[in-house]
Structure 1
Amino acid sequence: MPVDKITPDDSRVSHRETVLNGQKYHYIHGVPKHGKFKATVFLIHGWPDLSYGWRYQIPFLIQQNMQVVVPDMMGYGRTDAPRSPPADLRLYSIKRAADDISELAKQLGAPKIILGGHDWGGIVVYRTAQWYPELVTHVFSVCTPYTAPSRRFISLAEMVHGPLPQFGYQMQLAGPELEANVTSCDQVRNFLRALYGGRSEQGKPYFRPETGIDLDGLETIGVAPSLDGEACSSEMNSQIVIDSRLQELEYYTREYMRHGLHGPLNWYRTRRINFEDDLKLGTKMVKQPVLFISGRHDAVLTPEMSKGMEAFVPRLTRREVEASHWALTQTPEEVNNIVKEWLREVALGSRSLL
């Protein structure tokens, strides 16, 4: 049976706008039909995603009697994307994201929240839990391991030429090439196809973690399988699955065309800013209970990167799914079941209605 997911115009959720610390944000909001909920869950997306990246988790969490809040992060979708310069690049920092999450929780009257993150969103939820320990009660992260603050600045080049060569693509994202050459609707569409697993007719991938996007070959790229999890396993109704992927691809393309790539790419230009903020943090520990779900086949955030997390996250629960980086949509049933079990046993305990 297919896993339930929201559609862009789904009546079970509302699309809201608000101003957080001077910038307009868009977020998806959902509550159970009866209006009562046991807890508030914020879901934080990463690159190159949107709030809609949590489409399989939103209805599931609503069904578990949760208030669900899913923002488009700074620079993405319908949220503001200030150009920097002249705007301060700190608008795209992790600390700024934490401050905005705190402000949105305050506006919603939620004194305590559970935070879930994926990709950059995983980094954001760990740091938000550290900056706002009275607000964040529990954390779960899909694919993104915890990285403790460093007392020494480590440049991206040093990381790529050292322990994490698979971060080479970030050097391309942080530079000027993509922003200058991926501007039209067709270019953005093919760019997204490449990042979500699109290949040539010969099976050649157009995204490699070590080097980034092959811009020269984007015109011949095929469909993007990771924009619909069912495409990975479904052999029946193949035309329906392909149509669903194309619809999702078009939605993503339209949302990215609102502001272009400048805002999302700025997240890769804040490394030193994030380092300077970490120096002020005053702790390397995440004291809240944490669920970490790794993707066994994630080629960028490899499971090996999570080695030693227990030293900084003493209340850690580990789980793994047979997925690449796009576990939220490739293995949604498995991810949802793991989160459900953790919510019941750890996050809600005796208060659970699950």
Structure 2
Amino acid sequence: MNVIRHRTVSVNGLNMHLAEAGSGPLVLLLHGFPELWYSWRHQLPALAAAGYHAVAPDLRGHGRTDGPPEVEDYGMSDHVADAVALLDALGARTAVLVGHDWGANTVWAAAELHPERFTALAALSVPHRPRSPRPPIEMLRTFTGDRFNWMLHFQEPGTAEAEFSADVPRAVRLMLYGLSGDAGDLGVHLLTQLPRTTVLLNEIPEPPSPLPWLTAADLSYYSTEYERTGFTGGLNRYRNADRDWHHLPTLATRPLDQPALFLAGALDTAVRYGNLSAMRDLVPNLADPIVLRGAGHWIQQERPDEVNAALIKFLQAVS
């Protein structure tokens, strides 16, 4: 039996909490928002059983990892530096890097900035995109007009924190449900069809029945951690989007040579409105994207068996 172990290591000046399982070639698993290492609870033992050392950290500002105080401490360069320093702390020269949501963005960036350290990549739910012609928040403000947008809603420090912290279990439950496959077209409505003055959580109904992939114990773990830490660490990642654009001017401008895998749910808006075939211009060694029917944004939690099988097949192919 591959039991998940926990420890804290020093990474890039932070005390970083890790959950890990198994031994063998290193696979790093980077979560998104509002998530934690716990989002990989199904993958850690499966990868360990397949012969890998699977490590899922709480990223900076999340869970039991230190949260630096300034918004500027959550830029993409900081997250990439954490990933590289984590390899060093684990005594590993290279690793396969896997990420979901914002973690997927970090995978694409780290692979480009440090190709010698990350030899293969797997991204869940967020495809690789070329560099935008203008800062992304600036472009979003023009594009969305009077419509609500999550990314813009999260920009002002304190606003989303107050909304989510008023009832943390409700906030976590509704956000995870709202973008899941169980919610059907609700995610499209939330991301494209609401007025700018929307109070986000008021637009997401309670799940009509318990979610088969998210137990009461799962929700309790997320809620307990976010009640303790607050949501600022994750939200600050959104607040660095334009800063990243200026600070990393060559990012997403040249092809990645590593073998890569992309997995997503068919009901994820990134799939509905994205051009997955266009990724090949920047990721020429991309395997055929895997899109799971009926799944939403939280793919490794909603469909763990299929995600595990795809990851293990990919890892075996690139070993």
Aligned length: 307
Instruction: Kindly report which structure 2 residues correspond to 1:238-257, keeping only aligned pairs within 5 A, or say none.
Output: 245-257=215-227
Runs ≥4 in structure 1, deviation > 4 angstroms?
Answer: 163-167, 203-207, 222-226, 280-283
TM-score normalised by length of structure 1:
0.78
> Which of 96, 101, 104 is equivalent to 1:122?
104
> Which of 195, 198, 219 is equivalent to 2:175?
195
Which stretch has the larger CA shift, 256-265 or 39-48? 256-265
What is the Cα deviation at residue 118 of structure 1? 0.5
What is the Cα deviation at residue 259 of structure 1? 1.5
What is the Cα deviation at residue 166 of structure 1? 9.5
> Which of 284, 300, 305 is equivalent to 1:328?
300
> Separation in 2 of the partners of 1:81 and 1:188?
19
> Separation in 1 of the partners of 2:149 and 2:277?
21
Decide whether aligned partners of structure 1 residues 294 and 183 sit closer, same or farther in structure 2, where only a CA change above 3 A counts: closer
2:76 aligns with 94
> Separation in 2 of the partners of 1:221 and 1:321?
24
One-letter amino acid matched to 2:140: M
Unpaired stretches in structure 1, ≥5 consecutive residues: 1-9, 230-243, 349-354
1:16-43 per-position Cα deviation (integer Å, ceiling 9, x unaligned): 11222222211112124xxxx1x10000
> Separation in 1 of the partners of 2:307 and 2:146?
28
2:247 aligns with 277
Larger CA Rg, structure 1 vs 2: 1
> Separation in 2 of the partners of 1:204 and 1:309?
25
CA root-mean-square deviation: 2.9
Identity of aligned residues (%): 28
What is the Cα deviation at residue 277 of structure 1? 2.9
Residues 126 and 270 of structure 2 are in contact (CA less than 8 Å); yes or no, is this contact kept in structure 1? no
Instruction: Kindly report which structure 2 residues correspond to 1:103-118, keeping only aligned pairs within 5 A, or say none.
Output: 103-118=85-100
1:231-283 per-position Cα deviation (integer Å, ceiling 9, x unaligned): xxxxxxxxxxxxx7111111100111222111111011001221123215595
One-letter amino acid matched to 1:196: L
> Separation in 2 of the partners of 1:137 and 1:250?
36
1:114-163 per-position Cα deviation (integer Å, ceiling 9, x unaligned): 0001100100011111111110000001111002234x333325236539
2:8 aligns with 17
Decide whether aligned partners of structure 1 residues 22 and 165 sit closer, same or farther in structure 2, where only a CA change above 3 A counts: farther
Residues 40 and 300 of structure 2 are in contact (CA less than 8 Å); yes or no, is this contact kept in structure 1? yes
One-letter amino acid matched to 2:57: P
TM-score normalised by length of structure 2:
0.86
What is the Cα deviation at residue 225 of structure 1? 5.3
Decide whether aligned partners of structure 1 residues 264 and 246 sit closer, same or farther in structure 2, where only a CA change above 3 A counts: same
Decide whether aligned partners of structure 1 residues 134 and 321 sit closer, same or farther in structure 2, where only a CA change above 3 A counts: same
Decide whether aligned partners of structure 1 residues 139 and 282 sit closer, same or farther in structure 2, where only a CA change above 3 A counts: closer
